[in-house]
Each structure stands twice: as C-alpha cells, then as structure tokens.
C-alpha cells in the first residue's frame, strides 16, 4: 500500500512488493531527472525567414510555451538574429540567467537550402543560403537551442539525497491501514465493511487522523531530535551549531555539515579529528599529519616567545608572540576534478575551518596544504578565537 488513501503525503520509501519505490529506486529516478534536465534543449522554435516579414511562427521553451515567450527577432541580409533576455523570471519568482551554449538550425528544404547557427550567451544568429552559396530568405527554419537556465539541476531539486533510507515503520503496511482495520473491527458486524460506504469513509478519516497524531508526529519528533534526520528543525540546528548555509546547498548538504559538527563534539582525539575532516572534505582529503617535534629542550625553529626568541610582529596579539608548530596539525588536501575554485575555497576556509576550530584544543593549531602548491592557510594564533574574529570581522 505505498500510495492511496492509507498512505498520505509524504510518501514513505520502501518496497512493499507491489508498486512502492525503494530509496535506491528513488535515487535512480531523481538522477534520471537530472540527466534529462541537463540534456533537454532550452528552447525549440520555428522561424519564417522572409526579408519583408520575418517572424517566429512556433515556440516551446523552458521559460514557457507560445509566441509570448519567444525571443525578439531581427533580420539583416540573410541573417536572422534571435535575442532572449539575459535574465528570465521563473514561475516561482526567481530571476535566473539564461545562458546559451550552442544551437542547431535545420531548413525546411535541406535539399535546396542550408542553415547554420552562431551563438552568444543570449542570442542565436541563423544564416541561410542556397546550394550555390548565396544568402536566401523565404524559408522555414527549425532552431533547437541548448544551454543552461540558472544553476545545473541536482537530485536535491527533486527531493533526492544519497543518504535517504527505506522506511520500516509503514512498510509494508501504513499506519492508517492498521488504524482503519482496528476501528472497523471495534465497530463490529453491525456496520458494513464495504469500501464505498459512508461509514468506511468515516473510518478512513479517523484512521488517518490517528496515524498522524499517534504515529507520524512522534516519528517526526524523533527524526528532528538530531541533525541526522532534521527537517523542520534544520534552522534550529544551524543556529545551535553556528553554521552558515549557502544558497546552492540543499537540505541534505546542510544536514551532513551539521552531523559532522554534532559528532565532533565528543572528543579531540586523532581518530575523531581524522573522521570529521575526512567527512567534510570528501574527495578533497589526502591525509592528516601531526607534528610532535623533538625534545622539549630543543624547540623547533618556529617556536617563539618573548625575550627568549621573539616572534614576528604580525603574530603579536599583545604581550609578544607566543607561537609554536610543535602541536600543529597539517591537513593535506587536493582540488577534486569538477570542483570550482570558489567551491574549493569555501570548503577549506569555511567548512573545514569550522570543524578544526571547534575540535582542536587551545594549545594546538592547524593548517591545510594543497598537494600541488605551498601552504595557504597559516592556521590558528594562540588566542581564543582571534583568527575567527579577524577572518569574519566580528570584532574582538
């Protein structure tokens, strides 16, 4: 009973042996939708290329269907130029960039005429000529336009997430079906059990009410009690664990960030730190190194304290520089293929910083090292939160 009267929204994932969807199948569906979105055209249109009356005769695009959504059109010497706005409003009121990458034009009479396209970010220029190579007009040309409207689709746009699991509380029998059977039996044989009877509709209404109050609400409370299953409580956990959310991040992305910090509060051991850092960085993680240094009687070169070995002025937070790399954690990282520089910087300097700043004790510092470049992040100063204050301009 995966759908229908006994399984109101939201649908629970799980194979009931009939027509339900497992978590794996749902992930496959959302991934297929992303693939479709990535390969479908931005727009398909037909133009009548006539020097005296050029026009768009049919239009179907992601922004809408019909001539009212068609681009503006201009004709000059055998070239028809189609122009869309660089930013187009969606049905839900968002203004997203309309970026054309390529287009294909096909003449209605390919045996006598040919057509090609050249594009910019929001224009398509269609050139038509006959087999002799001369520019011609008076011809129908179909144009298929490819590109991107807004950010690329992700499975989260269709409520997909790699961490979704099958539900076992309402699979294979929904809560409402169990309540319905119980209510029906309590009423006894004096009442009809026919599905199309008025009393059955009343039983169903009471069963769905009981399932919501007695079962689904407690399920929701348990799920929201930790970041792992947080839904409505995501804003609470964001505030409690003090993390920011980027516009491009899905609920699943935020949930994983929260879970890393939530688990990281247990201890600052090497294994816990490595697990947390690996979880945050994913494919960007290479290794974690601890620097123990030599004996205490032989400080390393990068050990500074006033009078004995004064440090650089830039590290003086008042009363001299107190600094050592003896208890320093080095996080070796690499930029994964397909990750933009902006995403890479945000991953290291914000998400990684949040975790390391919370987990390391006051006497330890950390820095990240790119595999192919020099050390970029200088680590923490020996001052409670000083680098955080400086980085985010929160004041002292």
pLDDT, tens digit (0-9, with 9 covering 90-100), for 208-243: 999 999 999 999 999 899 888 888 899 998 888 877
Burial class (CB in 10 A: 0-12, 13-18, 19+), 7: buried
Q: Does the pLDDT at position 91 exceed 50?
A: yes
Average pLDDT over all residues of the chain: 80
Q: Does the pLDDT at position 48 exceed 90?
A: no
| Residue 287 CB-half CA count within 13 A | 3
Torsion of CA 264, 265, 268, 269, to 10 degrees: -60
Give the CA distances from residue 136 to residues 51, 118, 124, 180, in Å, rounded to whole numbers and listed in that order.
9, 17, 18, 72
- For residue 389, the model assigns a pLDDT of 32
pTM metric for this prediction:
0.61
Structure tokens belonging to residue 125: 């220029």
- For residue 391, the model assigns a pLDDT of 31
Domain boundaries, the chain: 39-149, 267-292+327-392
| pLDDT above 90 coverage of the chain, percent | 20
Evaluate whether 20 touches 2 at the Cβ level (below 8 Å). yes
| pLDDT, tens digit (0-9, with 9 covering 90-100), for 279-337 | 888 888 998 887 765 566 777 777 888 888 888 888 787 888 887 777 778 899 998 88
Evaluate whether 332 touches 288 at the Cβ level (below 8 Å). yes
- For residue 384, the model assigns a pLDDT of 37
- For residue 171, the model assigns a pLDDT of 77
| pLDDT, tens digit (0-9, with 9 covering 90-100), for 352-384 | 888 888 888 777 778 888 866 555 544 444 333
């Amino acid at each position: 009973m995966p759908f229908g009267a006994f399984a109101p929204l939201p649908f629970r994932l799980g194979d009931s042996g009939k027509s339900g969807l497992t978590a794996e199948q749902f992930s496959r569906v959302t991934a297929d939708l992303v693939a479709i979105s990535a390969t479908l055209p931005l727009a398909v249109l037909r133009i009548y290329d006539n020097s005296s009356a050029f026009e768009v005769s049919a239009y179907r695009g992601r922004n809408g269907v019909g001539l009212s959504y068609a681009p503006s059109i201009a004709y000059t010497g055998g070239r028809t130029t189609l122009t869309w706005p660089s930013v187009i409003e969606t049905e839900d009121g968002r203004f997203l960039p309309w970026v054309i990458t390529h287009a294909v034009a096909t003449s209605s009479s390919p045996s006598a005429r040919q057509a090609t396209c050249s594009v910019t970010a929001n224009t398509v220029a269609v050139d038509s000529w006959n087999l002799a190579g001369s520019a011609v007009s008076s011809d129908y040309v179909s144009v298929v336009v490819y590109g991107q409207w807004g950010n690329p689709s992700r499975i989260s746009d269709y409520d997909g997430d790699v961490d979704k699991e099958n539900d076992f509380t309402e699979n294979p029998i929904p809560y409402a079906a169990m309540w319905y059977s119980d209510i029906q039996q309590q009423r006894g044989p004096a009442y009809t059990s026919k599905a199309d009877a008025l009393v059955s509709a009343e039983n169903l209404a009471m069963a769905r009410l009981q399932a919501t109050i007695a079962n689904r609400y407690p399920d929701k409370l348990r799920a929201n009690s930790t970041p792992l299953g947080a839904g409505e409580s995501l804003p609470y956990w964001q505030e409690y664990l003090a993390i920011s959310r980027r516009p491009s991040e899905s609920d699943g992305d935020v949930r994983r960030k929260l879970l890393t910090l939530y688990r990281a509060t247990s201890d600052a051991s090497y294994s816990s730190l490595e697990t947390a850092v690996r979880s945050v960085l994913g494919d960007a993680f290479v290794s974690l190194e601890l620097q123990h240094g030599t004996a205490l009687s032989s400080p390393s070169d990068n050990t500074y304290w006033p009078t004995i070995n004064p440090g650089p002025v830039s590290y003086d937070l008042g009363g001299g520089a107190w600094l050592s790399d003896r208890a320093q954690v080095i996080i070796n990282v690499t930029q994964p293929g397909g990750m933009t520089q902006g995403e890479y910087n945000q991953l290291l300097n914000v998400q990684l910083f949040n975790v390391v700043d919370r987990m390391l004790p006051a006497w330890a510092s950390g820095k990240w090292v790119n595999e192919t470049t020099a050390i970029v992040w200088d680590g923490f100063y020996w001052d409670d939160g000083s680098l955080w204050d400086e980085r985010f301009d929160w004041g002292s």
